[in-house]
Structure 1
Amino acid sequence: MRLPLALVLATLIGSSAVAQTTVTGTPAAPDAKTSQQSGGQESVTRPNTDKMTPDGAGTGTAGNVQLEKGANSFTEGEARSRLAKAGFMDARDLKKDSDGIWRGTAMRGGQPVQVGLDFKGNVSAQ
């Protein structure tokens, strides 16, 4: 016995509506911030040095930033540029270490400091 095509289509269309899921309530954790409150995805993925002022103030200020290990795709020129943007001039002896962190020496406030730049663009000075 063959089923009419209209009956088969009606069954398939009707069953797909039953399979849909409706989320009720808030799926986020109670202490979670909305995208607007947290700055959204852009804030998470952009390097901290993009938010720094030329004197080094602002989010991700150099000094106590924890540099993270990872595959660093910055070229030496890009590393110099990011260090300069963070307020570190005349970067010298930049070398990428085994953790993927650019390390070297730069001038800040007339003083030489040890600097580092991780794969996310975080800048740190010691």
Structure 2
Amino acid sequence: MFRYVIAATAMTLFAGGAVAQTAQTGSHNPAVKNGAPHTIAAPAKGANSFTEDQARGRLAKAGYTGITKLTKRDGLWQGTAMKAGKRATVMLDYKGNVTSR
């Protein structure tokens, strides 16, 4: 009987370790940052170190054209731009994520 208890405990420990090591996908903050701009629902708050030219480049990479009125407020680059024939307010957070309204 004692062997069964030890065997059951050992199997539980090994199974738990395997589950903890599975990769998670779709993380908003991945371990390795992809250089491509991401479009998200809300910008992340934080100090932004992008220059205006870098911000314009990130927005252009995300498919925006005619980027105007680009200013930095509260750590976010904000401006207006065109995409698919529609004008939108665009924002770039400190992580390089693009948000539009």
- Normalised TM-score (structure 2): 0.68
Query: C-alpha displacement at 1:68, in angstroms?
Result: 1.2
Query: C-alpha displacement at 1:66, in angstroms?
Result: 1.2
Number of aligned residue pairs: 84
The reply to whether residue 84 of structure 1 matches residue 60 of structure 2 is yes
After superposition, residues 1-126 of structure 1 pair within 5 angstroms as 32=20, 34=22, 37-38=23-24, 41-42=31-32, 46=33, 50=36, 60-61=38-39, 65-97=41-73, 99-126=74-101
Identify if the C-alpha distance between structure 1 residues 29 and 71 changes in structure 2 by more than 3 Å, giving closer, same or farther: farther
State the identity as a percent: 43
Structure richer in strand, relative to its length: 2
Give CA deviations for 1:96-126 in whole Å, capped at 9, x if unaligned: 00x2000000011122110000000010110
Question: For the residues of structure 1 that align with 2:98 and 2:70, how far apart are their CA atoms?
Answer: 13
- Normalised TM-score (structure 1): 0.56
Alpha-carbon RMSD across the aligned residues, in angstroms, is 2.8
Secondary structure of 2:31 counterpart = helix
- Unaligned residue ranges in structure 1 (runs of 5+): 1-24, 53-59
Identify if the C-alpha distance between structure 1 residues 38 and 95 changes in structure 2 by more than 3 Å, giving closer, same or farther: same
Q: Which residue of 2 aligns with 1:17?
A: none
- Unaligned residue ranges in structure 2 (runs of 5+): 1-12
Name segments (4+ residues, structure 1) moved above 4 Å.
28-33
